[in-house]
Amino acid sequence: MNTSERDASALIEKHTTGYVPPEDRHGTVRDLFTLWFGGNIAPLPIVTGALGVQIFHLNLLWGILAIIVGQAVGGVLMALHSAQGPQMGVPQMIQSRAQFGSWGALLVTVIAGVMYVGFFASNIVLAGKSLHGIEHGIPVPVGIVIGAMGSGLIGIVGYRLIHILNRIGTWVLGIGILIGFGYILTHISTDDFLTRGGFNFAGWLATVSLSALWQIAFAPYVSDYSRYLPENVRVASTFWATYLGCTIGSTLAFVFGAVAVLAVPPGADAMDAVKQATGPLGLPMLVLFLLSVISHNALNLYGAVLAAITSLQTFAYRWIPTAKARAVLSTAILLASCYGAIGASTNFVGNLIDLVLALLVVLVPWTAINLIDFYVIHKGKYDIQSIFQVDGGIYGRFNPQALIAYGIGIVVQIPFMSTPMYTGPVPKYLDGADLSWVIGLLLTSPLYYWLASRDTDYRRRQSGASVTRRPARSRIESSDATI
């Protein structure tokens, strides 16, 4: 193998869902800061952040406060998941088998995969519109395909390229958005920039929820990007690098969206408002955001592929996925997303965001169960060999305690839901505010702990007493490393 072939081999990620052995670990916790900071300065969080003043009619001060509170709370959950990566060395959805069993984890994995595809499709639509805004001669459907292909290439290459691009993006996008803020705040064209809107409890609470759910949506795949770090990396280091990177980056993007729509007359689309409010900087800003959405969207494609592989392996347990398998699945998901995005209605992004909000109702109890199990019950010590066994090893095919807590965690949220797809009876007493995610977290966490602490099944006692056992160089692991 010549030098160029070795370089390409090192760049293309070898592992899919397998355990990452110590000799393949690399990187530093600083990479997590740049990954999540750079990845969150993108059109979708800008559009989402604008909703506080556009839809919920908050003024700038109350809108910013709601954004900060939501990001701070949601970021804690997201970063706690990230800190599991170096300790376990496996993707988040595979690790969920230790809580739900090898078959029990399938439902959550499929739901997470659908959410990733939804985010991926939403982002390629935004990429298509951004490209059309930069060059009107490029039709939106063509822009969608170009955006999808760019993200697909990054996702296929995998982990290393994703981190490299976000290290660059942190500086470029960070400086770019600060310059954008400076221009907007010195060229405000509206008289009601600070007074448009006001305070209403329902709108403020809804904006807090939207901001927190943005962070929680990363939970099912955040540790996929920390699992390559050396296993001696401390939990606290991983937590803070992820927390600060993601909350600062997304807060900047959310607030930028709110500032941009208030700086122009009411009625403008968020990204159109960005272009208008930044004046001569509008075109360069759109180019930066286009590159950002293409780079960041690779994470959604990567997560969707890992979820698909995890789901398929539940039944085709003899199948050993390789980098080629990851490329094939990436291409299939990419083509399906392009087909759906191009053929869908003009409100494609809005409809998919509604779907994602509904899916988060079933992901919130998973978050609670996973965190309680990892940090309180097992304290990070699992039998990884069992996680990869078709029968679940000591974890079994189903863990009834987790499934009962999970089901109840979903049901108790229903009366508190307030989404375009369904609204429960409680929000009408709260002016439409959605508190379902708070109820899901507060109830599922103690319920699962109570159920799990009373489980006398041998496999759970054995699991809790053991150290984190690493799989040997088995057929699964060595084949998973084959390109």
Between 326 and 48, residue with greater pLDDT: 48
Neighbours of 24 (CB within 10 A): 14
Q: Tell me which of 65-79, 87-101, 339-353 is least confident.
A: 339-353
Q: Burial code of 324-357, b = ≥16 C-beta within 10 A, e = fewer?
A: ebbbebbbebbeebbebbbeeeeebbebbbbbbb
Q: From the CA atom positions of the chain, what is the Rg in Å? A: 22
Inform me whether the pLDDT recorded for 245 exceeds 50: yes
Inform me whether the pLDDT recorded for 355 exceeds 70: no
Cβ atoms of 90 and 19 closer than 8 Å:
yes
Distance CA 262, CA 64 (A): 12
pLDDT tens column, 390-448:
888 888 888 999 999 999 999 999 999 887 778 889 887 776 777 889 999 999 999 99
> How is domain 19-480 classified at the CATH fold level?
Hydantoin permease (1.10.4160)
Most confident of 66-70, 325-329, 350-354, 357-361: 66-70
Q: Burial code of 202-225, b = ≥16 C-beta within 10 A, e = fewer?
A: bbbbbbbbbbbbbbbbbbbbbbbb
Neighbours of 411 (CB within 10 A): 12
Domain ranges of the chain: 19-480
The pTM score is 0.85
* Four-residue CA torsion sign, 53, 58, 61, 65: negative
